[in-house]
Amino acid sequence: SQTIHQWPATLVQPVGSPLSLECTVEGTSNPNLYWYRQAAGRGLQLLFYSVGIGQISSEVPQNLSASRPQDRQFILSSKKLLLSDSGFYLCAWKEGSYNSPLHFGNGTRLTVT
C-alpha cells in the first residue's frame, strides 16, 4: 500500500533563517506531488506541484521554492523565512489520472518568530 511521510511535524524558526521540509512517498511510482499551505481558519492554497522529476510548477509567487530530486521525494525550501511564511504545510500525492484523489501527509506546523 502507498504511504506518504512528511517531516518535521512542527518547526519554529527565526525570521531570516532557511527552511527545508521533506516529503517522501512509498508504494507508487511517478506520482504527482503537491505542496499546499493552510493558514489558520482558511482553506488550502496550492503552492507547487510536480508531475515528474525536476518538473516544478509554481502557483503563487513567494519566498518559497520546491524541488523534486527523486521520483518520490518532494522538498519545500526557503533561503530566508518571513513572518508571513508561518502556517500549516501539507504535502500530497495523486496518480496522474483525472479522477484520482489526493493523499495527504500529516503536515508540518511552521512558526516563524
Partner 1 sequence: SQQGEEDPQALSIQEGENATMNCSYKTSINNLQWYRQNSGRGLVHLILIRSNEREKHSGRLRVTLDTSKKSSSLLITASRAADTASYFCATGGGSNYKLTFGKGTLLTVNP
The residues that touch partner 1, with contacts defined as CB under 8 A, are 6, 32, 36, 41-44, 46, 49, 51, 57, 59, 88, 90, 92, 94, 96-99, 101-107, 109
Q: Where are the extended beta strands (E) located within 8-106?
A: 10-13, 19-26, 32-38, 44-52, 55-58, 65-70, 73-78, 87-94, 103-104
Q: Nearer to partner 1 by C-beta: 75 or 91?
A: 91
Tell me how far, at minimum, the Cβ of 47 lies from partner 1, in Å: 11
Nearer to partner 1, 14 or 43 (CB): 43
Nearer to partner 1, 17 or 59 (CB): 59
Bridge partners of 41, per DSSP, are none
Output 51 or 80, the one with its CB closest to partner 1. Answer: 51
**Is residue 57 within 8 Å of residue 48, measured between CB atoms?**
yes
In sequence order, the 6+-apart residues with CB closer than 8 A to the CB of 59 are 45, 46, 47, 48, 49
